[in-house]
Amino acid sequence: MNKTVDLTKGPIFSQLVKLALPIIGTSLMQMAYNLTDMIWLGQLGSNAVASVGGAGFFIWLGISVLLVTRIGAEVGVSQALGRKEPETAARFARHSLFWAVVLATAIAILTLVFSPELIGIFRLSEGVVENGAINYLRIVSLGFVFTFVNPTFQGIYNGMGNSRLPFYYLLIGLGLNMLLDPLMIFGIGPFPALGVEGAAWATVFAQLVVFLVFCVRFIWFKEVMDPDFKRFKLNKDISLKIFKLGMPVAAESSLFACFALILARMITKWGDVPIAVQSVGAQIEAISWMTSSGFATALGSFTGQNFGANNWSRIRKGYFTTLGIGIFLGSFVTVAFIIWGKQIFSLFLREPEALQMGITYLQILAVSQIFMIIEIITRGAFNGIGRTVPPSIIGIVFTGGRVPAAMILSLDKYLGMLGIWWAISLSSIAKGLTLMAWYLKVLRHSEGGSSTNIKQLTLLPTRQRQQIKIEEISD
C-alpha cells in the first residue's frame, strides 16, 4: 500500500523528471481525448470541428472550477506528508473527493438544462453547427461527474509523490476513446453513424471506465494510502483550507475560460472557420502548456513536501532546475511552430482557408511559448508553498487585459482578426515575466529558510496558521 515518494531528500533533477514524466503523459492523454475527436471530426469538415470547439469552452470552464479540489488535494496532501502527518493527508484526500463530487454534480445539472442558452453565446451558424454543439454538450454533461472527479484523484496521487499510477489509469481511458471514436462517429460495425454525438458518447464511456478504475484502486485496494471513508465526517476547517488553496487557481482558470469565450465570440465576426482554427490551434498549443504543466505539478508536489519540511535551499534548487527544463522546451516548440506550422496544422484541417489561417495562428503564438512556460512553472512553485493567490492575480489581470487589447488591435485600421491572436500572445509574455519576478522576490526574502521573512510577504495565512493540527480537527 505504501507507494509514497519522499521528495525532501535525494537527487533533485531525477526526482523532478521521474515525477513529471507520468504527469506529462497523463496531461497529454487528457488532451488526446480532444485531439482524437478533432482528427476524426476534421474528416467531416470544419462545421463538426466548430461544434465541438464551441462546446469545449464549457467543458474547460467546468474543469477550471474543479481545480479547487485538485489543487486542494495536491497541496494539502503534499504539505501534510512533508510534516510527517499521514492522517492529515488522508483527511485532505477524503474531503477533496467529497467536494469534487458535489461540484461536478451541480455543474452537470446546470449544463444539461441550459445547453442551448450556453451555446447561443457563441452566435454560431444556425443549423448543423449550433445543433451539433448543443447535442455534444448535453451528452458530455452526463459524464461530468467522472470527467471532473478524475483530476482530483490524480491530485491526491501527485501529492503523495506518485504520478505513475494515474498515468496508467488514464491510458486505459485514452485507448478506449481512440477505439470508440471512429466506430461511433462513422458507424463502423454494429454502431450507428452518430457524427459529433458519437464523439461525445465515446468520451463519456472512456471517462467512466477511468473513474471506476480510480475508485477500485484507491478506495478498495488502498494502493497509496488508506482513505478510510468510514471515518469521514465533513469538517469545516479542512474544507475551508481546500477552498482557500484551490479557489484562487480555480477562479483564475474560470475567468480565463470566460475571457477566451469573449474572444471567441469576437472572432465569430469573421465566420465559423476562425472558431474551428482557434479550437484546433489551442489543442496543438496544449502540447506545449500541458508538458510544462506536468513539470509545474511535479515542482508543486516537490516544493510542497520541502515547504512542509522547511527546506528552502532545496525549494530554490528545484525551481531553477525546472525553469531550465521549461526554457529548453519552449525554445523547441517556438522553432517547431514557425518552421513546421503547415505540416502540424494540416493533420487536423486541410481546407485551404482554414489551413492558411492555422499556420498564421501558430506563428503568432510561437512568439510567446517560452514566457508561457515560465509562467506555468512559476505557478507550480507558488502552489507548492501554499501561495496560490499571486499567480491568480497576475493571471486575472493580464488575461483580462486580452479583451480590451483585442478590441483595439482587431480594428480594421490595425490588425483585424489577427489582432485578437496577438493580444493572446503578448499577454502571455507579460504574465511570464511578471510572475517570475514576483517569485524571485519571494526566494530572496526566504534566504536561509526564514519563515519570518516569508511571513512578511505571503498573501495567505502563515505556515503556522495554515497547518491543521490533528488534535484540533476530527472527521
More confident site: 57 or 149: 149
Mean pLDDT of 431-454: 77
Cα 442 to Cα 12, 378, 393, 437: the distances in Å are: 20, 11, 15, 9
Q: Is residue 89 part of a domain?
A: yes
Q: What is the C-alpha separation between 28 and 16, in angstroms, rounded?
A: 18
Cα 318 to Cα 11, 334, 438: the distances in Å are: 10, 24, 17
Which residues form the domain of 95?
Answer: 12-459
- The pLDDT value recorded for residue 371 is 96
Q: What are the pLDDT digits (tens) for 222-278?
A: 988 888 888 899 999 999 999 998 998 898 888 887 888 788 888 878 877 887 888
Q: What is the grid cell recorded at 323?
A: 525553469
- pTM of structure: 0.72
Q: Is residue 403 part of a domain?
A: yes
Q: Is residue 339 part of a domain?
A: yes
Percent of the chain with pLDDT over 90: 51
Model confidence at 452: pLDDT above 50: no
Q: What are the pLDDT digits (tens) for 84-118?
A: 899 999 999 999 999 999 999 999 999 999 999 98
Q: Is residue 473 part of a domain?
A: no
Q: Residue 294, class by beta-carbon neighbours within 10 Å (0-12 exposed, 13-18 middle, 19+ buried)?
A: buried
Q: Is residue 29 part of a domain?
A: yes
Secondary structure, 3-state, 252-299: HHHHHHHHHHHHHHHHHHHCHHHHHHHHHHHHHHHHHHHHHHHHHHHH
Q: What is the C-alpha separation between 53 and 138, in angstroms, rounded?
A: 14
- The pLDDT value recorded for residue 473 is 38
- The pLDDT value recorded for residue 275 is 78
Q: Is residue 2 part of a domain?
A: no
> What is the Cα Rg of the chain in Å?
22
Mean pLDDT of 289-304: 89
DSSP reduced 3-state for 104: helix
Model confidence at 426: pLDDT above 90: yes
Q: How confident is the model at residue 464 (pLDDT cuts 50, 70, 90)?
A: very low
DSSP reduced 3-state for 332: helix
- The pLDDT value recorded for residue 463 is 35
Domain count for the chain, please give it: 1
CA torsion, ordered 351, 27, 288, 19, to nearest 10 deg: -160
Q: How confident is the model at residue 465 (pLDDT cuts 50, 70, 90)?
A: very low
Q: How confident is the model at residue 353 (pLDDT cuts 50, 70, 90)?
A: confident
b/e 107-124 (16+ beta carbons within 10 angstroms → b):
bbeebeeebeebbeebeb
Q: Mean of the per-residue pLDDT values for the chain?
A: 86
Q: What is the grid cell recorded at 299?
A: 515542482
Q: Is residue 392 part of a domain?
A: yes
Q: What are the pLDDT digits (tens) for 280-295?
A: 888 788 788 888 988 9
- The pLDDT value recorded for residue 453 is 41
Q: What are the pLDDT digits (tens) for 118-161?
A: 888 777 666 778 888 999 999 999 999 999 999 999 999 988 88
- The pLDDT value recorded for residue 454 is 38
Asked whether 30 and 115 are in contact (CB, 8 A), the reply is no
Q: What is the C-alpha separation between 390 and 47, in angstroms, rounded?
A: 40
Q: Is residue 466 part of a domain?
A: no
Percent of the chain with pLDDT over 70: 91
Q: What is the grid cell recorded at 214?
A: 480510480
- The pLDDT value recorded for residue 61 is 87
Segment of 3-17, 167-181, 189-203, 206-220 carrying the highest mean pLDDT: 206-220
